[in-house]
């Protein structure tokens, strides 16, 4: 509460201002009068005995953890019937906040590597976090990761438990199946939660959710259902990243990674070999070279012929001709990559309601996919573009007729492709969107 501002705890820690509020505790910016440094002061607000025990357990769990990616605990105690924890003051954003603003693919990999390094260290100290979620992962201003709130953690060797029978503690969207089944949990439960967070960051959605907030159906899904394929939600992701995430999300802990260090190894290998970017709340690391809205130069169709000519040029001692021919030979792959990057740029712009940038990027992506005859990606991108246009029309009074016409044309070309590929979910969405666009177009003609 605000009356704590200006007070001094344990004759040493001055409470300056409220900076955060949780379900059972408030967090304040403070000053250590002895060491003359800024601190974070966490003060318990819930008075129940079970919460008091959990609060003290948090302090005990974190106090003996010393790792650069874990928020440090300096002191803990009770002053005038008030439980408190003195912690390292960190400045930054939670992963939940950062993901809405955009994180590059490489930065996302780095975040999860550092998160797993923190968990690997904690697990070796026999501490399980048990509440890994985006709100408990801080991204500092310098990009470093700090894991916080070990309030639900406990030492593996501690046979006693203050969790009441049948009580599900934590956030439903990120809990492992064994937690719901009341089974004994170990460090692999944390790894499942990491998988849930990765799934969300790289696809923009949690693995299991209920549109009606039906928690029972979410719990049932965690225990019994396989999440939708990562690449179905975001086809720009690599198969290697999908394998990592889906292995973390295995129902049986035996089928998951055995340790956090194993996941780190796979992510570091992926980071070294992959240049693909991801969508959801993600921004591509570098803009593609082609100017948005400018149709790319058509690519050569006969690759075998081009390579044969390049070999002949090499034999005749013309290295410049070889370079030019090979450049032409690989141009389709480059154009496809650029088109995929435009899609990512457009999706990020649409999430920020930047419809001008979104339109430019989507148009460039459509031109790119058409130039390399990639009908499938053209169809999917046309649906995304059309959905964005409908959203813009719903949010803004003024409707750009030309933009609506372009979206109608692209979607009309895309629907037969989606129908032929038997992509019924996207086909249904496309048909609904096309109907909406045509109604909007008729409305502007009146």
Provide the pLDDT for residue 133.
Answer: 93
Mapped onto helix, strand or coil, the DSSP state of residue 27 is strand
Tell me the pLDDT tens digit for each residue of 317-346.
Answer: 655 554 555 555 556 666 777 787 787 778
Mapped onto helix, strand or coil, the DSSP state of residue 85 is strand
Q: Both 254 and 134 in a single domain?
A: yes
Tell me the pLDDT tens digit for each residue of 362-400.
Answer: 888 888 888 878 888 888 888 888 888 888 888 776 667
Residue 38 in domain: yes
Domain boundary among the residues 87, 107, 131 is at: 87
CATH number for the domain that contains residue 130: 1.10.510.10
Q: Both 438 and 369 in a single domain?
A: yes
Sheet holding 13-21, edge to edge: 8-9, 13-21, 25-32, 37-44, 83-87, 73-78
Q: Both 203 and 253 in a single domain?
A: yes
Q: Both 67 and 141 in a single domain?
A: no
Q: Both 124 and 163 in a single domain?
A: yes
Q: Both 256 and 356 in a single domain?
A: no
Neighbouring C-beta atoms of residue 395, cutoff 10 Å: 9
Q: Both 264 and 328 in a single domain?
A: no
CATH number for the domain that contains residue 417: 1.25.40
Known catalytic membership, residue 205: no
Domain span at residue 38 reads: 2-87
Residues of 157-184 as b/e, b for ≥16 C-beta within 10 angstroms? Answer: eeeeebeeeeeeebbbbbbbbbbeeeee
Helix residue ranges per DSSP H, 150-279: 177-180, 187-203, 215-224, 230-233, 239-248, 260-273
CA distance 168 to 380: 39
Q: What is the helix, strand, coil percentage profile of the chain, to 5?
A: 55, 10, 35
Q: Both 146 and 54 in a single domain?
A: no
CATH number for the domain that contains residue 67: 3.30.200.20
**Percent of the chain having pLDDT more than 70?**
78
167 pLDDT tier (thresholds 50, 70, 90): very low
- The catalytic residue among 16, 32, 106, 131 is 131
Q: Both 140 and 45 in a single domain?
A: no
Least Cα distance to 382 among 400, 395, 369 occurs for 369
Residue 298 in domain: no
């Amino acid at each position: 509460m605000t009356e704590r501002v200006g007070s001094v705890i344990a004759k040493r820690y001055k409470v300056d201002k409220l900076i955060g509020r949780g379900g059972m505790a408030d967090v304040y910016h403070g000053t250590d009068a002895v060491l003359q440094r800024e601190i974070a002061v966490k003060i318990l607000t819930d008075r129940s005995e079970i919460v008091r025990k959990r609060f003290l357990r948090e302090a005990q769990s974190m106090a003996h953890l010393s790792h650069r990616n874990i928020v440090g605990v300096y002191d803990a105690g009770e002053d005038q019937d008030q439980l408190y924890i003195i912690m390292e003051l960190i400045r930054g954003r939670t992963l939940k906040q950062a993901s809405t603003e955009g994180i590059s693919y490489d930065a996302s990999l780095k975040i999860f590597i550092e998160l797993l390094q923190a968990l690997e260290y904690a697990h070796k100290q026999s501490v399980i976090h048990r509440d890994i979620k985006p709100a408990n992962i801080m991204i500092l201003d310098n990009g470093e990761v700090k894991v916080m709130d070990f309030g639900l953690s406990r030492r593996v060797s501690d046979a006693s438990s203050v969790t009441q029978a049948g009580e599900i503690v934590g956030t439903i969207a990120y809990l492992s199946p064994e937690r719901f089944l009341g089974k004994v949990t170990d460090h692999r439960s944390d790894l499942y939660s990491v998988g849930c967070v990765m799934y969300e960051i790289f696809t923009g959605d949690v693995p299991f959710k209920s549109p009606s907030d039906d928690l029972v159906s979410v719990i049932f899904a965690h225990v019994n259902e396989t999440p939708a394929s990562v690449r179905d939600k975001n086809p720009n992701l690599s198969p290697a990243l999908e394998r990592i995430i889906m292995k973390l999300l295995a129902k049986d802990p035996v089928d998951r990674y055995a340790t956090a260090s194993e996941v780190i190894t796979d992510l570091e290998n992926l980071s070294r070999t992959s240049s693909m970017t991801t969508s959801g709340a993600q921004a591509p690391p570098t803009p593609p070279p082609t100017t948005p809205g400018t149709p790319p130069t058509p690519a050569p169709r006969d690759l075998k012929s081009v390579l044969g000519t390049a070999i002949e040029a090499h034999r005749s001692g013309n290295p410049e001709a070889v370079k030019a021919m090979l450049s032409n030979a690989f141009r389709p792959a480059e154009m496809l990559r650029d088109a995929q990057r435009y899609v990512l740029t457009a999706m990020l712009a649409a999430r920020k309601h930047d419809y001008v940038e979104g339109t430019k990027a989507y148009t460039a992506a459509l031109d790119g996919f058409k130039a390399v005859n990639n009908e499938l990606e053209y169809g999917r991108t046309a649906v995304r573009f059309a959905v964005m246009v409908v959203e813009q029309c719903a949010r803004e009074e003024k409707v750009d007729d030309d933009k609506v016409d372009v979206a109608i044309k692209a979607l009309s070309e895309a629907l037969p492709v989606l129908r032929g590929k038997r992509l019924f979910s996207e086909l249904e969405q496309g048909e609904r969107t096309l109907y909406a666009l045509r109604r909007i177009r008729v409305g502007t003609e009146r």
